[in-house]
Amino acid sequence: MTDTHDSLPDRVVAELPPLNTRFYVPNLADKPQNPIIDNLKALADLAAPPVQPTLLLKREIVDRPVNQPRSGPPRTGGTANLWQKACDNDFLHGTVLRSWDSWQPLQKQDVMYSPYISEQPPHTFVASRHFIRPQLSDAATKIIYVEQSEFLASLMSTLMGATSKLHVWDPQRECFILRGVHRDMSGILSIIGKDETITHSCLSRFLTIGTLSRRLEVLVRSLGLSASPTLHAFSYAVDSLLAFARVNILDYIGNDGHEPPSLNAIWVACEDVANMLAACAEVCGRGVDRSPDQYPPVPDSIGLLSVIYQHCVSHFERSSPTLVKAATALILTLTSRHYLQTICSAIAYSGSRTSLDQHSKSGQSDGGEYENPDFSDVVAERYPSFISKPLKNSLISAQKSLTILQDACPDHPLLLKPAHSSPITWYWTEGEIDRAWTGGPHEPVASNPLKRATPEPLDASEGAAKYEPELLGLRVYDLEPGSHATNPELWGPVRAFMNDFPKRLPIVVPTIGDLTNLVFSPLAEQASVLSQAVLDIFLTPLSSPSPTPVVDLHIHSHLTVLRSYQLLASHSFKSKLSAALFSDSEDWASGGRRSALSLAARRNTKGTPGLVSDDKVWPVGLSASLLEKDSWPPGGTDLSFFLRTVVVDAMEVMRPRTVDPTGETPSAYDESEWRIGFAIRDLPSGKGQDKWLDPCCTALDFLYLEYQPPRPLQIVVGPDVLSKYQRIFAFNLRLLRVENVVRMLHRLSRTCRRPPFGTLTKANALFLHFRFLAHTFVAQLCSYVYDTAIRRHFDSFLFEISIAREGRNGRRFSDVFELARYHSDVLDNILIACLLRSGQKAAGDALRSCLETVMELGILAGELTRGRLEEYQAESILEQLYSAFKRRVSRLVR
């Protein structure tokens, strides 16, 4: 049993078949290995020429029929002969014609595809993806499978933005949805032979084109109800681009008898159209990624032009496709045309301004103030973004200048004929830009590059009606429906604009900003010419040759009058005004009787004693005639008459010898007799009234000098400027009164026989010292005010005007509004020098307190002279005033 069991494994192992290896590893020779040499030998074997097969004799093949078997034993061993293989093939038995390529070994040439699944045939690729990622069943998703031919048949309608067999338009969401899909479900379209992902990738571009086309069409239809010419032009521009896109699609996909292009070719060809429509939709705020509730409202004309220009600049800066840049440029060109015409008309660039008809051409130069001093009725508040800030300021100044020019000189050449014949328009082609850069004439077509061609006249044989020349446009209604619908002439200008649009701007204007400056450079020149024309009228004397304004607007003459009267620069007016309103007499009973120029002397009456009662304070420095009626502020016809006499008499002295040689226009000096005059302010209520009724403090603040400039001159001498003049005039009146008080103090103490303090020597010495300090302070203050504060600034301003007219210092003022600003700044400097600005209240109060102290010294001397105050009582008051004066002067000069 043991032997049997021991031999059993040996028998089982012997019955098993041998396990032979399927590979062989040759044994290495017992010598050093040289892999470089071995590699070279292998390459040499591969480069060996192939073994040429042994050829049979042609006679052996031809003489023996193909279908007859070969004689002789079959050949054994070795490689079969080429000719023998050729004769053994059955499919060659039909012919005996042989060629060298058919003698090669015949084998099945299988097509070798790429190892990538995405590069396999469509059906293989779709099957692979479906096998790897099977479509999950979803009750809320409906998959629609269509043949490619069916998809291409409905593609044209989709691209045109119309409903097709596959897609319908949803007016609420403004997008295309699959036909037959419920609103609560989502649909997926799959082209047979392509999976859902590829179908969606191809379909997305086509649906984008159709959706944007339909959205733009709806927008164009809604804008047709607008009354704005700019919105109408914008609607036309978008409609033209929409038609251009559809015509391009029709030209490429239209069935004209040739084989239709493939789906991939259509997808590639629609790329430019899709980009163009996307750019147009972004301008309109109708992008494909927006829902209808996210649409921005249509802006006004100015806002719309700004949006279009910003998109145009963005596309040029990003180097967008040429078709996209051309589309935005077309929208900008057409939409801004009416606005550019309005700007040209507003500054008399290419015709008379429309708003000029609101004013008559005569009798308005001196008809009171402007209804809108800021010219808000003729000047726009907002401008598009393509109007730069310097150009905006120039246009505003030009529009105001045109209104002033029409009032001042209606016969000016700039108002009689337009300055330019070619309107302002956008330039895009290199030829137009070169002509604009060199200043050459523009071609007529450039002014209206997108004008639609007029249809050809109808043939008389067709029974066409005869129309008058002004009704020729109605001929189109005599045509058969659709006869001119595909006429290329209708969209020829738009197509030419889009096709001829340059890929980049010329080197002379490399950016859109430079192009904008070039386009509007004629407007800037016209604005400068218009502003300079008005400025010349203001700077030109009346004796200069034409054009002659209807009134004397020589600004130098008017400012000289204001300087003489409002600033008291005229010695004649200042002396006459001082004699009429003030008095330096030491005799309180006689008042102003001693002055030959006083009101009492002019009435040829004697001063009435006792004008100032014993129970009232003597208002030193004031003329006694102001107190006759015992009321304040004084009034009456006598005061008005004598103040008018002061103005007229002073004007006779300062009137120049040079006047208008024609004698047709009165000069500014002649008109000043009625343009300038005194007036009385209304009394305020409350605490301020008490101060005005006290003639010892701000006695003459009620009186101001009024000036009525001609209406065109109100730009330079407006209400704000006149208020500054009046503040300076009121300050000068205070100085005049203080000057008279100082002179009155001198008269009181000039004699040694009757000193103010006869019994108090120390007090008298203090009084004389105080009088000297007050006189020095007031004299220095008056000298500073008239010589430094006023003459230094105002005389230099008049000198600037003189040299600006003569042109010795270039163009000091660009327009009359800069002259007005300079005039206002000069007055501000004078107010600052006189401590009259609101920001100088502390210093102004200190100066005012010093002047009031001097006046209180005069009142003290007057009361002491009248005997109402004893010397010992006045001594303590004098010491207090002296200490207060020193303290206040120190605080002022600190």
Residues of the domain holding 851? 555-893
Least confident of 17-21, 399-403, 811-815, 860-864: 17-21
Classify residue 374 by burial, with Cβ atoms within 10 Å: 0-12, 13-18, 19+.
exposed
- ∠ CA 617-620-626, nearest 5°, is 90
- Residue 778 is predicted with a pLDDT of 93
Tokens of 449: 């590059």
Question: Is residue 252 domain-shared with residue 300, that is, in the same domain?
Answer: yes
pLDDT-derived band at 280 (thresholds 50, 70, 90) equals very high
Residue of 285, 309, 301 lying closest to 382 (CA atoms): 301
In contact, 329 and 312? CB cutoff 8 Å: yes
Element (H, E) at 872: helix 871-893
Distance CA 394, CA 385 (A): 15
Dihedral angle, C-alpha 518, 520, 525, 528, nearest 10 °? -130
Residue ending a domain, choose from 335, 358, 393? 335
Higher pLDDT pick, 282 / 98: 282
| Contact by Cβ (8 Å): 560, 544 | no
Distance, in Å, from the CA atom of 36 to the CA atom of 318, rounded to the nearest integer, reads 58
What SS3 state is found at 505? coil
* DSSP reduced 3-state for 569: coil
pLDDT (0 to 100) of residue 601: 46
Instruction: Pick the most confident of 112-121, 285-294, 534-543, 689-698.
Output: 285-294
771 within 8 A of 882, measured Cβ to Cβ? no
Does residue 154 sit within a domain? yes
Categorize the per-residue pLDDT at 53 as very low, low, confident or very high, splitting at 50, 70 and 90. Answer: very low
pLDDT score at 722? 93
Is 305 found in the same domain as 434?
no
Q: What is the DSSP-derived secondary structure letter of residue 784?
A: I
**CA–CA dist 478, 458 (Å, integer):** 8
At 893 the pLDDT is 86
pLDDT above 90: residue 195: no
Whether residue 623 sits in one domain with residue 532? no
Residue 541, Cβ density class (10 Å: 0-12 exposed, 13-18 middle, ≥19 buried): middle
Say whether both 226 and 249 belong to one domain.
Answer: yes
Query: Which of 82-91, 346-355, 573-582, 674-683 bottoms out in mean pLDDT, i.e. has the lowest?
Result: 82-91
786 with 684, same domain: the answer is yes
Domain boundary (311, 335, 359) is at 335
Are residue 589 and residue 655 in the same domain, yes or no? Answer: yes
Q: Residue 888: its pLDDT value, please?
A: 92
153's tokens: 């048949």
Give the model's confidence band at 532: pLDDT under 50 very low, under 70 low, under 90 confident, else very high. Answer: confident
8 A C-beta contact, residue 172 and residue 181: no
Task: Say how far apart CA 88 and CA 97 lie, in whole Å.
Answer: 15
| Amino acid (one-letter) located at 545 | P
Rounded Cα distance, 604 and 663, in Å: 38
Q: How far apart are CA 23 and CA 419, in angstroms?
A: 101
Identify whether residues 569 and 506 lie together within a single domain.
no
pTM > 0.85: no
| Contact between 716 and 538 (Cβ < 8 Å) | yes
Phi-psi region of 72 (alpha: psi -120 to 50; beta: other; left: phi over 0): left
Are residues 314 and 352 located together in one domain of the fold? no
Check: CB of residue 798 under 8 Å from CB of residue 766.
no
Render pLDDT for 199-248 as a digit per residue (tens, 0 to 9).
Answer: 888 888 899 999 999 999 999 988 877 778 899 999 999 999 998 998 88
- Could you tell me which of 235, 316, 222, 248 has the C-alpha nearest to residue 280? 235
Please tell me whether residue 704 adopts helix, strand or coil conformation. Answer: strand
What is the C-alpha separation between 176 and 170, in angstroms, rounded? 6
Q: Is the domain of 716 the same as that of 618?
A: yes
Label residue 828 by pLDDT band (50, 70, 90). very high
Q: Are strands 175-178 and 167-170 parallel, antiparallel or unpaired?
A: antiparallel
Identify whether 549 is part of a domain: no
Contacts of 824 (CB under 8 A, 6+ apart): 720, 721, 724
**348 has a pLDDT exceeding 70:** yes
Output 414 or 101, whichever has higher pLDDT: 414
Placement of tokens 């279009």 in the chain? 308
Tokens representing 350 are 């290419």
CB neighbours of 658 closer than 8 A, spacing ≥ 6? 541, 543
Alpha carbon distance 785, 665 (integer Å)? 36
Structure tokens at 195: 């999976």
Q: Is the pLDDT of residue 55 over 60?
A: no
Q: What is the mean pLDDT of residues 825-837?
A: 93
358-396: pLDDT as tens digits = 333 333 445 455 555 556 555 667 889 999 999 998 888
Two structure tokens written together for 671: 């008109």
Instruction: Give the pLDDT band of residue 68 (cuts 50, 70, 90).
Output: very low
Q: How far apart are CA 138 and CA 157, in angstroms?
A: 30
Report cis status (omega within 30 of 0) of the bond before 633: yes
Total number of domains constituting the chain? 5
Q: What is the pLDDT of residues 469-482, one digit of tens each?
A: 777 777 777 765 54
- Both tokens of residue 848? 């005012």
Q: Dihedrals φ, ψ of 67, to 5°?
A: -80, 0
Residue 231 CA to residue 234 CA, distance in Å, equals 5
**Per-residue confidence (pLDDT) for residue 462, from 0 to 100:** 46
Residue 777 makes CB contacts below 8 A (sequence gap 6+) with: 850, 854, 889
Give pLDDT, residue 588. Answer: 59
Please list, residue by residue across 379-404, b when 16 or more beta carbons sit within 10 angstroms of its beta carbon and e when fewer do: beeebbebbeeebeebbbbbbbbbbb
**Any domain includes 37:** no
- Which residue has better confidence, 458 or 733? 733
What are the strands, taking DSSP E only, across 36-183?
141-146, 167-170, 175-178
Q: Is the pLDDT of residue 2 over 60?
A: no
Share of the chain above pLDDT 90, in %: 20
Q: Kindly state the average pLDDT of the residues 667-696.
A: 71
Q: Measured over all CA atoms, what is the biggest interatomic distance in the chain, rounded to whole angstroms?
A: 183
Task: Give per-residue pLDDT as tens, 722-761.
Answer: 999 999 999 999 899 999 899 988 888 776 667 778 788 8
Would residue 44 count as lying in a domain?
no
Quote the tokens at residue 424.
């302002």
Strand partners, 178: 167
**Has residue 18 been placed in a domain?**
no
Of the listed ranges 245-249, 323-327, 668-672, the one predicted with least confidence: 668-672
**Window from 173-187, 543-557, 792-806 with minimum mean pLDDT:** 543-557
Lowest mean pLDDT among 108-112, 747-751, 875-879: 108-112
Q: Does some domain include residue 185?
A: yes
419 in the same domain as 478: no
Strands 141-146 and 186-191, how do they pair? Answer: parallel
In angstroms, rounded to a whole number, what is the distance separating the alpha carbons of residues 820 and 558?
Answer: 13
Measured CA to CA, the distance from residue 255 to residue 522 in angstroms comes to: 50
- The answer to whether residues 735 and 850 belong to one domain is yes
Task: Give the count of beta carbons closer than 10 Å to the beta carbon of residue 136.
Answer: 6
CATH number, domain of 869, equals 1.20.120.1900
State the chain's mean pLDDT as an integer: 76
Of 224, 226, 250, which Cα lies nearest the Cα of 239? 224
Q: Are 548 and 831 in contact (CB under 8 A)?
A: no
For residue 119, how many other CB atoms are within 10 A of its CB?
10
Nearest CA among 646, 623, 516 for reference residue 572:
646
Q: What is the mean pLDDT of residues 764-768?
A: 90
Same domain (yes/no): 363, 442: yes
Provide the percentage of residues in the chain whose pLDDT is more than 70.
Answer: 69
Amino acid code (one letter) for 667: S
| Digit-coded pLDDT (tens) for 611-657 | 455 566 677 778 777 776 666 667 667 677 778 888 888 887 776 65
- Placement of tokens 């009606």 in the chain: 465
More confidently predicted of 68 and 747:
747
- Within-domain flag for 27: no
pLDDT at 87: 59
598 within some domain: yes
